[in-house]
Structure 1
Amino acid sequence: MKEDLILAYDVGTTGLKTCLFRFSERIELIASSLEEYPIYLNPDGGAEQNPEDWWNAMAKTTKQILNDPNLSKHEIIGISFCTQMQGLVLVDENFSPIRPAFSYMDQRARQEMKSGIQSGFCIQGFNLKKLLLSLWITGAVAGSVKDPIWKYKWVQTHEPLQFKKIKWWFDVKEYLLAKCTSKAVMTRDSAFATLLYDSRKGKGNWSETLCSLFGIQRNHLPTIINSDTKVGGLTQEAASHLGLNENIPVFGGGGDASLIGIGAGAVLNGDTHIYAGTSGWVSTRVKKRTVDLSARMASIVGVNEESYQYFGEQETSGKCLQWVKDHLALDEIDLYLEKKKITDGPEAIYESLFHFMFDSIKDVPPGSNGVIFTPWLHGNRSPFEDPNARGIFFNIGLHTGKRTLIRAVMEGILFHKRWLIESMEKKVKTSNRIRFVGGVARSELICQTLADITGKVIERIHHPENAGAFGAAAIVAKGLGRIENFEEIKSKIALKDIFYPNLSAKKIYDKNFQIFKSIYWKNKGLFALSNETIE
């Protein structure tokens, strides 16, 4: 019997996972394949990727999945994407990149941001006129050095010959949509992430005012579409590259910040979800635009036009655990604590993290014997914006061992999630039950610790590391008319298990959490001094 299959590409910071879903009563994952690629970090704060790495990873993983004789490319009814956001892919008229893509992590454009929005009469560190216009028009402000506006302006300043070649400003997903369909479009959530989008009711397009205000060439910005819009059919050239049939419908999809909540099933107003992958965030679905400049939180435009996502981001989340795996859990001859050899390959990080590393810390008591870790290995965005913030191990003693340090890292990541929740609740109410997704949510220990630290009931779906791909599959189903509205998606996402807080452990965490927050404020000046550029 013919099945309805959906192909979803989850394009992350360090790897692309292709997921094949069966759509029936539930959205069911039936196959996946992962291909890793590098991100190039430069001493000056640069973070770049080669867009061809994403395109080639799509081809390799698609062919690996369809190599299974039980799966047929003829049953694929649609394609979509969930991708990292706030990248900048500048291409020419042939959709060829004119330079490497900027990752969302890129921090080079400090001077561009300073002259662009931090000069003149300021409030909260921002030029008053530009701040008020940005908040009125788009509901947020380009207040981070990592925002795409400043990357664009950096190219204009530092690479003027390359800047002249620009035809289109794309994000990661938009580049891949162009490769698949030869169409230059941008979904609303990606357009909002540029902070040049007019999100007021009845508007929903590029703001000529903001483009003029920040010196952006309006003709570089593509046509805006909805996430469930069919962009086009897969071109012959793209189909050949991917090993698929020509003319398969390709839908707009969304960025990870938009679709992971959808894939988590947090689709009703008031629903909160937490994501912990390479980066992390807390997000609550709300009806109205809300902004908190002091906490660097704002309502973002997602894939559902009828609501917003009030959003606070953590720059390095699971990335801290990868750092632990690479530099703490492994010793100098590449043997794990228990002398178990870790194999190479794309699943090595999951094997080491979830089969060995967390098992080794299960007997370390909650609170890590008073050791606290700050998870700001590449700066931070919310509830404070500080590219200079870094990681600290606090309160190490003579008897502190690796296992305690590893558990402290895990707890530090989750303390920051609690900080985001508490900052969020100054403006909106978070839900008592929170959906927890991302690669980090594969660990039951982390799920339980998150419940203990936050005092919230934590719900986990099947395959939480693929929540974004689940969301992309749901977008295809909605675009094809198989799902009538976004609220219906909740019934299509199966819940796996629930974790309730341990109140005795929470008492310990309450104390450590207060110290955790103080560590940043007491060391803010030292972070700046330690990481300032010496001319």
Structure 2
Amino acid sequence: MENDCILAYDIGTTGVKTCLFRMDPTLELVSSATKEYPIQLLPNGGAEQNPEDWWMAMQSTTKDVLGESGIQKEEIKGISFCSQMQGLVLVDETFRPVRNAMSYMDQRASLEMKKGILHGLKIEGINAIKLLVSLWITGAVAASVKDPIWKYKWVETNEPDNFCKVRWWFDVKEYLIARATNKAVMTRDSAFATFLYNSRQGKGNWSPLLCKLFGVKREHLPKIIDAEDKVGGLTKEAADFLGLLVGTPVFGGGGDASLIGVGAGAVSEGDTHIYAGTSGWIGTVTKKRTVDIHARIASIVGARAGYYNYFGEQETSGKCLQWVKDHLALDEIDLYLEKKKITDSPDAVYESLFEFMFDSIKDTEPGSQGVIFTPWLHGNRCPFEDPKARGIFFNISLNTGKRVLIRAVIEGILFHKRWILELSNGKVKTSNPIRFVGGVARSNFICQMLADITGITIERVEHPENVGAIGAAAIVALGLGKIKSYEDIKQMIPVDKTWTPNPSLKPVYDKNFFVFKNLYTSNKKHFVILNS
């Protein structure tokens, strides 16, 4: 019997995860495969990727999931994407990139931002006219050096030979859609993330006034579509490359900030989810445009028409744990001296080195003996914007061991989430319980710690590391008519496990959290001295 299946490509910062789902009638994960690729961190603050790496990774993972599952290409009824956002992929008229893609992490355009919005009469340090016009039209403002508009202006200023070849401005998945269909489109959430989108209308479009105000060529901006819209079918070239059927429907999909919430089942007004992958964020579904300029939290356009995500971003979340694994734990303290035996033997107890690391610190005391870590290893966006901010280990003593430092890093990541959560509550009420998703959410230890630090009940869905792909697959099912509404998605995604806060830990976490919030203000000028 033929299956009705969906391919969802989760295009992350460090790799592509391709998930194959069966619709019967809910979404069942049949197979998944991952392919990593590099990101180039440049001395001038640049962060770039080769778009060809994404496309090649799609090819190899598609082959893997079809081979492992035995599913035939005729059974794939649609494909779509969940991808990293606020990248800049500038292409020519044949959809060939004119230069490497600039990642959302890229922070080299400080001069362009200064010229573009940090001059004249200011409100919260931002040009008053551009701030007020942006807030009125789009509901947010390009107030971060990492926002794509400043990357665009950087290329225009510094690489005029490349800029003159530009035909289209794409985000990451839009480039891949173009490779797949030969069509230039951008989903509504990606369009909003450029801060050139008029969100005052039900289904908005590009704002000519904002394009003029920021010096962006309107002709570079593609047609805007909805997440569940069918863009077209796979071209013969793309189908042959991916090993799929010519004409297989390709749907718009969405960015990770939109579809991870959908895949978490947080789709109704008031639903909150916390994501912890390479980066992290807090998102709450709302029907109103709201912005907190001081805290850098705003309502961003989501996948569902008429709804927003009140969204505060954490620049480095799980990336801090990777740093700990590579530079603090790995071999230097003999924690992984027998790492081959830990994960590679047939009777291995631990699925990953991360799991072994978390288990090794389970008996360290909450509060980390008063040691506090700030998780700003690549700057920060919310609740303060500062690309020069960095990590700190604060209050180390002669008795501080490395296991305490590792726990302090986890607590620091979660303190920052609590900070964003409490500030979000000031304008949009967050839910209790909260869905916790992303690769970090696989750890039961961290789930309990998140509940204890926030004082909120934490729920985890099945396959929390795959929620972006689940969201993309749900969008395809919606586009195909297999799912009738966004509300139906919530019923399809069950809670796997729940954690409730331990009230006895509140005093120590409250004390550390109070100090944590003050460390940036105390050290802001020092970051400038050391990182300029």
Scaled by the length of structure 1, what TM-score is found?
Answer: 0.96
1:245: which partner in 2? 245
Cα-to-partner distance string for 1:345-402 (whole Å, 9 max, x where unaligned): xxxx971112x11011111111111111100000000011111110001111112111
Aligned-CA RMSD value: 1.4
SS in 1 for 2:352: helix
SS in 1 for 2:113: helix
Structure 1 residues 404 and 200, CA, compared in 2 at 3 Å: closer, same or farther?
same
Q: 1:167 and 1:310 mapped to 2: Cα distance? A: 32
What is the Cα deviation at residue 202 of structure 1? Answer: 4.4
The alignment status of 1:384 with 2:390, answered yes or no, reads no
2:353: which partner in 1? 352
The alignment status of 1:398 with 2:398, answered yes or no, reads yes
Structure 1 residues 403 and 69, CA, compared in 2 at 3 Å: closer, same or farther?
closer
Give structure 2 stretches of 5+ with no counterpart. Answer: 345-349
Q: 1:343 and 1:504 mapped to 2: Cα distance? A: 35
Assess if the C-alpha contact under 8 Å between 1:84 and 1:256 holds in 2. yes
- One-letter amino acid of the structure 2 residue matched with residue 131 of structure 1: L
- One-letter amino acid of the structure 1 residue matched with residue 241 of structure 2: H
Q: 2:153 and 2:45 mapped to 1: Cα distance? A: 16
1:339: which partner in 2? 338
Q: 1:481 and 1:340 mapped to 2: Cα distance? A: 48
Matches within 5 A, 1:146-295: 146-202=146-202, 204-295=204-295
Structure 1 residues 308 and 483, CA, compared in 2 at 3 Å: closer, same or farther?
same
Cα-to-partner distance string for 1:427-451 (whole Å, 9 max, x where unaligned): 1100011000000000000000000
Q: 1:318 and 1:15 mapped to 2: Cα distance? A: 14
Q: 2:263 and 2:373 mapped to 1: Cα distance? A: 30
What is the Cα deviation at residue 331 of structure 1? Answer: 2.8
- One-letter amino acid of the structure 1 residue matched with residue 353 of structure 2: S
What is the Cα deviation at residue 335 of structure 1? Answer: 5.5
Cα-to-partner distance string for 1:314-363 (whole Å, 9 max, x where unaligned): 0000000000011011135x96345333779xxxx971112x11011111
1:47: which partner in 2? 47
Assess if the C-alpha contact under 8 Å between 1:434 and 1:457 holds in 2. yes
Matches within 5 A, 1:20-169: 20-68=20-68, 70-169=70-169
Cα-to-partner distance string for 1:164-193 (whole Å, 9 max, x where unaligned): 000000000100000110000000000000
- One-letter amino acid of the structure 1 residue matched with residue 414 of structure 2: L
Q: 1:507 and 1:22 mapped to 2: Cα distance? A: 47
Percent identity reads 68
Assess if the C-alpha contact under 8 Å between 1:25 and 1:492 holds in 2. no
Cα-to-partner distance string for 1:448-494 (whole Å, 9 max, x where unaligned): 00000001110000110111000000000000111111111101112
2:347: which partner in 1? none
Q: 1:249 and 1:375 mapped to 2: Cα distance? A: 41
Q: 1:487 and 1:137 mapped to 2: Cα distance? A: 29
- One-letter amino acid of the structure 1 residue matched with residue 45 of structure 2: G
- One-letter amino acid of the structure 2 residue matched with residue 190 of structure 1: S
- One-letter amino acid of the structure 1 residue matched with residue 125 of structure 2: G
- One-letter amino acid of the structure 2 residue matched with residue 243 of structure 1: G
Q: 2:69 and 2:325 mapped to 1: Cα distance? A: 36
Structure 1 residues 69 and 218, CA, compared in 2 at 3 Å: closer, same or farther?
closer
Q: 1:481 and 1:276 mapped to 2: Cα distance? A: 31
Q: 1:26 and 1:527 mapped to 2: Cα distance? A: 50
Cα-to-partner distance string for 1:272-316 (whole Å, 9 max, x where unaligned): 000000000001001100000000010000111121100000000
SS in 1 for 2:140: coil
- One-letter amino acid of the structure 2 residue matched with residue 339 of structure 1: E
Cα-to-partner distance string for 1:183-226 (whole Å, 9 max, x where unaligned): 00000000000000000024600000000000000000000000
What is the Cα deviation at residue 3 of structure 1? Answer: 1.7
Q: 1:507 and 1:46 mapped to 2: Cα distance? A: 41
Scaled by the length of structure 2, what TM-score is found?
Answer: 0.97
Q: 2:217 and 2:339 mapped to 1: Cα distance? A: 55
1:427: which partner in 2? 427
- One-letter amino acid of the structure 1 residue matched with residue 505 of structure 2: A
Q: 2:68 and 2:118 mapped to 1: Cα distance? A: 55
What is the Cα deviation at residue 26 of structure 1? Answer: 2.5
Structure 1 runs of 4+ aligned residues shifted over 3 Å read 334-339, 341-344
- One-letter amino acid of the structure 1 residue matched with residue 179 of structure 2: K
- One-letter amino acid of the structure 2 residue matched with residue 499 of structure 1: W
1:460: which partner in 2? 460
What is the Cα deviation at residue 524 of structure 1? Answer: 1.1
Assess if the C-alpha contact under 8 Å between 1:26 and 1:491 holds in 2. no
Assess if the C-alpha contact under 8 Å between 2:202 and 2:306 holds in 1. no
Q: 1:343 and 1:445 mapped to 2: Cα distance? A: 19
Q: 1:123 and 1:362 mapped to 2: Cα distance? A: 46
Assess if the C-alpha contact under 8 Å between 1:168 and 1:222 holds in 2. yes
What is the Cα deviation at residue 495 of structure 1? Answer: 1.5
What is the Cα deviation at residue 500 of structure 1? Answer: 0.5
Give structure 1 stretches of 5+ with no counterpart. Answer: none
2:502: which partner in 1? 502
Assess if the C-alpha contact under 8 Å between 2:8 and 2:18 holds in 1. yes
SS in 2 for 1:85: coil
Assess if the C-alpha contact under 8 Å between 1:5 and 1:22 holds in 2. yes
The alignment status of 1:518 with 2:518, answered yes or no, reads yes
Q: Identify which range, 486-495 or 467-476, moves more after superposition.
A: 486-495
Cα-to-partner distance string for 1:70-111 (whole Å, 9 max, x where unaligned): 322221111000000000000001100000000000000000
